[in-house]
Structure 1
Amino acid sequence: MTDDVAAFNPSAADHGALLEACARGERQALQQLYAQEGSRLLGVVVRIVGDRGIAEDIIHDAFVNIWNKAHTFDATRGSGKTWIFSVARHLALNHVRTRHREVTVDDETADRLDAERAHEVETDMQDHFDWLGHGDLDRCLAQLAPERRNCLFHAYVDGFSHPEIATRMDRPLGTVKAWIKRSLAALRECLS
């Protein structure tokens, strides 16, 4: 293990440097990535798949992929933290896509699900990016209004379509599309 990796503090580790250390075969770097981001990744994946046991399996697979594919990380294309989260998110979305099927329910169950959905829309106004750190992307996201950050969260973390986001947030589809488009443009400008 190199001195650089040993000097990292898990609360402030450079994700890109840890990924480079993983690519060199330094297991301590993967352990630090897991210690720093494992619980957050689990939270994201649980939100996508809806089952903690399945999410834990996906996180295991994500860290195996992070270890095996760390050499493909390119710091010029994005941050290490974003890359790590995208690995886990893609595995979770693939799981949902392969397991997705339509279920028919009776009227009583449909009414109960509608009531739960209405409650979710109400509670969904919380800011889903409240866990952000202090990197450039985090700083730029903090400049967006919470509803616009939440649209991005639902699109890029939860994997929801624009119509699903509009329904979930109880907003017109055109508004959601515009928010996402303008928010991405603002992020690009802020990060350049």
Structure 2
Amino acid sequence: MGDMPDRDAAVGRQELVALLRQVATGDKAALKHVYDRTQAKLFGVALRILNDRREAEDVLQDVYLSVWMKAADFDPERASPITWLATIARNRSIDRVRQIGRRDEKDIDTALEIADASPDAFEQVSAEDERQRLAACIEELDGRTGEAIRTAFFGGVTYQELADKAEVPLGTMKSVIRRGLIKLKGCLSR
């Protein structure tokens, strides 16, 4: 049963790779499919950085314009499609923060929490044996902790959203994830 999310994720990744290849050929319908599958996550990335719905919506339009223009640059050997798309959203959002002159500490701290998907980091983290070790270590965690970590770090869901879904205080959810990350670190260092 634990293999199903991995298989679903792999199928989703393959579909996005195929769609981005179609976008690179000028296929507008493929861009619509990419948008439908990714806009919620990318909007979340932009909203976390900008903390303004209207600005995040504007950035999201820029993101998909960039995807349309740069889809041929996407290399599935260097990054997963969602990582590539999230990086575009992150960079466009940070550019917008600079453009509108809002550089308060909260925005910059939030931007730092979003993963940087540079090829070197991705190659290290996404190596198959490392992915398998990480998956095995997550499986060693109790169900609630493992699911919270998967959802937060691989699904792009905020701690607040996790707390709301689990109907627990935010501090409790942060503690669950923090303890889980400590256990993961210990497991990965074995």
Which has the higher Rg, Structure 1 or Structure 2?
A: 1
**Residues in 2 aligned to 1:28 and 1:66: alpha-carbon distance in whole angstroms:** 13
- Contact 2:23–2:30, Cα closer than 8 Å, also in 1: yes
- Check 1:157–1:100 CA distance in 2 against 1; reply closer, same or farther (3 A cut): farther
Quick one: percent identity of the two aligned structures?
Answer: 30
Alignment partner, residue 19 of structure 2: 18
Task: Give, in whole Å, the separation in 2 of the partners of 1:148 and 1:71.
Answer: 33
Aligned counterparts of 2:104 and 2:89: Cα–Cα separation in 1: 25
1:101/1:149 CA distance change after superposition, 3 Å? same
Specify the alignment match of 2:44 in structure 1: 43
SS in 2 for 1:78: coil
- C-alpha displacement at 1:70, in angstroms? 0.4
Q: Which has the higher helix share?
A: 2
Distance 1:83 1:101, change over 3 A: closer
Q: 2:102 matched to which residue of 1?
A: 100
| Cross-structure match for 1:67 | 68
Give the whole-Å Cα distance in 2 for the aligned partners of 1:94 and 1:157. Answer: 23
Count of paired positions: 125
Give the CA deviation at 1:102.
Answer: 5.2
Gaps of 5+ in 1: 1-10, 104-135, 159-168, 187-192
With normalisation by structure 1, the TM-score equals 0.50
Give the equivalent residue in structure 2 for 1:52: 53
**Distance apart, 1:101 and its partner CA:** 3.8
- Residue 78 of structure 1 and its aligned partner are, at CA, apart by 1.6
Amino acid at match of 2:102: H
Rounded Cα–Cα distance in structure 1 between residues aligned with 2:146 and 2:157: 17
- Equivalent residue runs for 1:124-143 within 5 Å: 140=135
Inter-CA distance 18–170: structure 2 relative to 1 (3 Å threshold): closer
In structure 2, relative to structure 1, the CA distance for the partners of 1:59 and 1:142 (3 Å cut) is: farther
Question: 2:151 touches 2:157 (CA, 8 Å); kept in 1?
Answer: no
Judge conservation of contact 1:44–1:157 (CA < 8 Å) in 2: no
Partner of 1:7: none
* Alignment match, 1:76: 77
Q: 1:147 to 1:26 in 2, by over 3 A?
A: closer
Match of 1:59, SS state, is: helix
Deviation at 1:100, TM superposition (A): 2.8
| Shift in alpha-carbon separation, 1:58–1:65, aligned structure 2, 3 A | same
Q: What is the TM-score when the length of structure 2 is the normalising length?
A: 0.50
Aligned counterparts of 1:102 and 1:85: Cα–Cα separation in 2: 22
